[in-house]
Structure 1
Amino acid sequence: MGMKIINYLPLALFLVMGMSSGLAEEREKSTVEKIVDVQHDLFNGPREGLRSNHTKGVVLSGEFYPAESARQITTAVHLQQNASPIVVRFSNATGFPDIADNDPKGLAKGMAMRIDLGDEGYTDMVLSSVPRFPVATPEAFLEMLTAVRDSASSDAEIKPIQHFLADHPKAKHFVEYPKPFPVSFAKLSYHGINAFKFTNAEGESVYGRYIVMPLGGMKTLEKAEAEKQDENYLMNEIHERLAQQPVEFRLSVQIAEPGDEVNDATVIWSDDRQIVELGTIVINAPIADAAAYEKATMFNPLALPEGIEPSADPILLARPGAYAVSFQHRLD
């Protein structure tokens, strides 16, 4: 099977950033550029060589082993027969590089994965421990982040973020959604908040969202127990765990049914939707030079092999653009 990797990032940048033919200085900043700017305001950035969000993380290596059932829904090359090398990055939320692993502001946790497809090709996944996003559009996300920033210096009895949450009940639901403290990055589930279109060899297509579940089951800490942990307990624990044995997850996809909303990251589908197993993620060891890898690597959820396409979810289309802006700051 010939391999064809389609990078949808240029299309996303065009659609979301609204790039004009003029120089950057001659145009108004795009929404994703403003999002990154506000993140820098919130987290005292930018910081040379570091991400603007999910800054504190750990980078590991391993292999992905596809399941036979994956071929029912897609021809994607990494979901056929052969194992593929992978790099996985677990992370805390926020742009603070020294945030404690048990700080509630560091929830939700992130998981990014790069699957090596050979011939310099790759595909990425960017996942969250919370299976939904607070808002449905980049513009609303910018409004939310701005409200958070402005609330810090507001003397008003009702802060801007309180007004925002009152006007955006789905964002309020996200804030209230359970975000448990994990025992380990290896004992937490991770979710794709955006849908993708999967097409099989017969030309049949379905929309689905990724689910990553630990093979040994989830295990979390009560708040009081989490508060007793070292500020780097997750970063240290995963190294100690890998010194003893590999970490394994099952990668699956939840399939949308007709009528399910596939272009809105705030919507969680019903639990009774079909789950198709895609394969097994096996993480073996930390990578040798994690700092250099992190600085040089931008995970791009729109770098896709033939057989997988993006949905029209505006949050999905905006994510690589925002990551690209952050990546440029990282290299400046």
Structure 2
Amino acid sequence: MPLPSDEKLIALGDDLLQQFETIFGQHPGFRPAHAKGTILTGTFTPAANAASLSRAPHLTRPSTPVSVRFSNSTGLPLIPDNDPNASPHGLAIRFHLAEHSHTDIVSHSTDGFPARTGEEFLEFLRAIAASASATSHPTPVEAFLGSHPAALAFVQAAKPNPSSFARESYFGVTAMHFTNKDGDSRYGRYRILPEAGNDFLDDAGAAEKSPNYLFDEIAERVAKGPIKFRIFAQLANDGDVVDNATIHWAEDREQFELGTVELTQPVADNAHEQKQIIFDPIPRVDGIEPSDDPLLELRAAVYLISGRKRRTAPEQ
């Protein structure tokens, strides 16, 4: 995938990556955010009615191979799993449609995002970086949150420690435009729900866990049997805002089931695969188009720029 030709977009992406580096330090070979992760492989099976929403190939075939990456937040490759900053956790799914052909879902465990645009997100990151050495209040990030209610709501949203990556729900940040074979279209946001149900630890229980408990647990769990998630699209009604990641849709919106991911084993060479795979928040597949959310093109550029740098780093 080539870099976009928009020079302003590339410059903004570079500025964002620089801020992540300022906050978390340099960690060659790792992602600037969600650095600590692991990949499992398995199969996606569409729900019986999935093709009525979208004609995308993975929703019309009997099954599709997948790779799924679970991750902690921050750009710190060694962040303890029970550190509060490790949440929101990430879940990214690659649907392997054919050789050199794929489509992805990128999600995290908090429903929403702290910024409407890339410029606003950059302002947020700069405020975080400037607050590290602040000695008076309000700090730059406190001032930012005080004037940006959506960012404040995201920061204040509950982010409990899950007992397992397999027992947490994950949410797509931006809306997608789903179109079926008849040309009928609906906007929707992904929701990925664990078949085992949600399960969270209290602060005391989390404090007793090892720094690597989520990664140890997911390896033990998949060795005992398949890990399953059901993928849904929360569908927008007419009039719902579909180009702003900070705006939630009402919980009474239809939850349309797309299918089930069944994970059966770790990827063969985890460290190498994590360096190589570059997830794409833009679907780039017939039947699922991006919305006009301004975060999408920027996120795709940031992922690609950072991914290319990651691939050239020496093996750990």
TM-score (norm 1): 0.91
Per the TM alignment, residue 31 of structure 1 is displaced from its structure 2 partner at its CA by 1.1
Equivalence map 1:1-332=2 (5 Å):
10=3, 13-15=4-6, 17-18=7-8, 30-45=11-26, 47-330=27-310, 331=312
Mean Cα deviation higher: 238-247 or 112-121:
112-121
Query: Hey, what's the Cα distance between the residues in 1 that align with 2:176 and 2:274?
Result: 26
RMSD after superposition: 1.3
Per the TM alignment, residue 196 of structure 1 is displaced from its structure 2 partner at its CA by 0.5
1:42 partner letter: I
Per the TM alignment, residue 81 of structure 1 is displaced from its structure 2 partner at its CA by 2.9
Query: Hey, what's the Cα distance between the residues in 2 that align with 1:263 and 1:275?
Result: 19
Unaligned runs of 5+ in 2: none
Query: Hey, what's the Cα distance between the residues in 2 that align with 1:119 and 1:328?
Result: 20
Q: Deviations over 1:213-264 (max 9, x none)?
A: 0112111111111111000000000000011111001001010001111000
Query: Hey, what's the Cα distance between the residues in 1 that align with 2:116 and 2:295?
Result: 6
Query: Hey, what's the Cα distance between the residues in 2 that align with 1:315 and 1:120?
Result: 25
1:25 maps to what in 2? none
- Contact kept? 1:68, 1:80, Cα under 8 Å: no
Per the TM alignment, residue 317 of structure 1 is displaced from its structure 2 partner at its CA by 1.9
Per the TM alignment, residue 120 of structure 1 is displaced from its structure 2 partner at its CA by 2.3
Query: Hey, what's the Cα distance between the residues in 2 that align with 1:68 and 1:114?
Result: 21
- Contact kept? 2:283, 2:290, Cα under 8 Å: no
Query: Hey, what's the Cα distance between the residues in 2 that align with 1:317 and 1:106?
Result: 26
Query: Hey, what's the Cα distance between the residues in 1 that align with 2:60 and 2:252?
Result: 26
Query: Hey, what's the Cα distance between the residues in 2 that align with 1:68 and 1:319?
Result: 32
- Contact kept? 1:262, 1:311, Cα under 8 Å: yes
Query: Hey, what's the Cα distance between the residues in 2 that align with 1:313 and 1:257?
Result: 17
Query: Hey, what's the Cα distance between the residues in 2 that align with 1:175 and 1:134?
Result: 7
1:304 partner letter: R
4+ residue segments displaced more than 6 Å: none
Number of aligned positions between the proteins = 312
SS state at 1:18 partner: helix
- Contact kept? 1:68, 1:81, Cα under 8 Å: no
SS state at 1:305 partner: coil
- How many percent identity over aligned positions? 40
Query: Hey, what's the Cα distance between the residues in 2 that align with 1:213 and 1:61?
Result: 17
1:36 partner letter: L
